[in-house]
Structure 1
Amino acid sequence: MAKKKISFVIYSLNSGGAERVITELANSFVHDFDVFIITLVKTEPFYKLNPEVNLLYCSENIKNHTTPLKSIIDGVSRIRTLTKIIKKNNISLVIGFMTTSNIYAIWAAKLCRISCIVSERANHSIYKLPRLQALVRDISYKLCNYLVVQTDANKRFYSTKLSSSKIIVIPNPIAPALSTKRNLQLNKPKDNIILNVGSFKKGKAQELLISAFSNIDNEGWQVIFVGDGPTKQKNLDLTKQLKLENRISFVGKQQNVHEFYNNASLFVFTSEHEGFPNALLEALYFGIPTISTNCEHGPSELITNGENGFLIPVGDQKALEQKITTLINDKKIQKEFQSKSMISTKKYQIENIVEEWRRYIDKLI
């Protein structure tokens, strides 16, 4: 019996959280389906893709539009191209990722008279769309079979726009590349490292950790930042200003981030807002005693305050100083957080997330 054909639709396959999740899902589904990924523009996959996944694209390059009318014309053209690809390959189900791709996927699926699932990754209470684009999104999303979001907060947001029975919460999985790299020797001594992993950009607020670290008794401890981005220089300047160059390291993006997770004693997450906090999930999975700001969206769904980590108010430096000091000095709490955080993240392992997706795919084809 021939496998049924499903296709993911996304703007590109560059590096990013949505692109990683699509790659992981596509790689997992090749055993049961004939899997396609259709990108709106031609790109080489950043993440390793199973050779059995069929990779197609709508256009060779990105078009820059000077007027809304040209954007609309290009959008209609992409929907037509996407429709032709779907029909030509006899695809039974389309799964869109990210807002623009979702809109195209929904209308192409309607024209092909097939089912469509869309996955919304953005925190739209923070990243607000222009009014016209938001209207098009809201009208389009009413036509999909299911809308997948990553957090309960995002479900509440979209429940005002379409039936809540259509909205499913499926979080990101632990990256398979990391899931096999966790050191399970829990009694192995860790380095006195406070770790932060993530991009340096507006809203990540790494300066909160730098300032807090400067105010505590940090003898014998160091902070390591893994990641790059536009606000990195501002944080380097603050580190220099506070004369902490020998205690705080900026190591940039790292392919071997698991080594940092395995060696760190504490993890501090300082974001002011999130779509879904992948680095926080990874730190908990690796059993690192963790402190996180209680921002929207995600931290409160991953951490039960005082059980598998600490939650603090966004931007509260004094609270961060107190919790870092508590964890540094209390090995018992460290041990409790370590074991409970590893237990709490079992449901985020790739096989469990794939099973959730598969449940809804099977209802439609």
Structure 2
Amino acid sequence: MVELLLLVGIGVALFVGFNIGGSTTGPAFGPAVGAGAISKLLAGGLMAVFFFIGAWTIGRRVVDTLGRELVTDPGVFTIETSIVVLFFIGGALFVGNYAGVPASTSMTAVGAIAGLGIATGALDWTVMGEIAVWWIVAPLVGFWVSVMIGRYLYPTINRWIAITSSEGALVELDRSGPIPIPRRGPNTTRREFIGTVVLVSIGCLMGFSSGTSNIANAIAPLYGAGALELNPLILLGGAAVAVGALTIARRTLDTLGNDLTDLPLTAAIVVAVVASGIVIGLSAIGIPASFVIIATMCIVGLGWGRATRTVTVTESVRGEAKPNVSVGALAAEAPGEEAPGIGEEDPEDIPAAADLFDPATTGRVILMQNLVPVLATAGAYATFWVLFRFLW
């Protein structure tokens, strides 16, 4: 019977890992996919590799935190309770992935474990409170930093970087020698190539950061129950994440790379830098980072800041100067053209704000990202309250 329960627990943990791969690949590589820098298949492969590296190295520390420190009595983790916790984590994440909205795996997992802790009176409220405070502060910081960059600094940054997406392949293999060597495509400029490498590298760094915090969400309950050693659990969890990154993650890549906001390559780099900086900072102080929420709010903030930026232009009609007028919009980024600074936009070249920032999609994303952790917490609490009072 115990062996059967263990197999069920491993199966549910694999299901959770599958959904983690689906929900975290979008924030990490959505900007790169949306900018046309890499394909969805390559994004999934890179996510699988760097997630595993992060999980194998730093991730085991977070596993110990969620599996043994969030609750005052680790004895509440049994194989049975672990299965129930993992069921709510995986089920809630699947709802978000099915809707094409990446939910926060950290918030969902901690919420489900907190539901168990509250129902059994074993939740460490001090640890929970510290985590919750940072979950509120960090996305707000990412949002407003991105808004300010999009509203006031984006044209200057774009002039510095001046990266546009050229036609044709970004990289081609030189097969003239015995070993194929990757080289720039025939139409790829040096600045475009370097900028794209930076963008993808930051996505890899975010994938690594995700592995350091999110592997615990799939395996911490089983580890807390003493069901398996840590290394086999990390291997199983990493494999499940890889499958999710290569399959169901395509929906979240579409949402964060294409549907949420128009994200040219320069903007994608800005989002990746801001989001990864905050995630790394939280990991450094031992907080399970709400990776998805931070990255999503950075995308929303930059899109909103760019779409609502007020600039001043002067038109000349029939030789007569017209007064300065306000135009809320973003500088157009035509391929091969240098984006003008504030006050230099041609109004005819400025796309409408609705083409740059989709309020309906944004509302759906924010709603689902808050609803999914609530579902996991409430469901776990209600289930364990009934089980411990009437059945166990």
TM range (shorter): under 0.3
TM-score between both structures, scaled by the size of structure 1: 0.25
Q: Which has the larger radius of gyration?
A: 2
TM-score between both structures, scaled by the size of structure 2: 0.23
Please state which structure has a larger fraction of its residues in strand.
1
Please state which structure has a larger fraction of its residues in helix.
2
Q: Which has the higher contact order (CA 8 A, sep 6+)?
A: 2
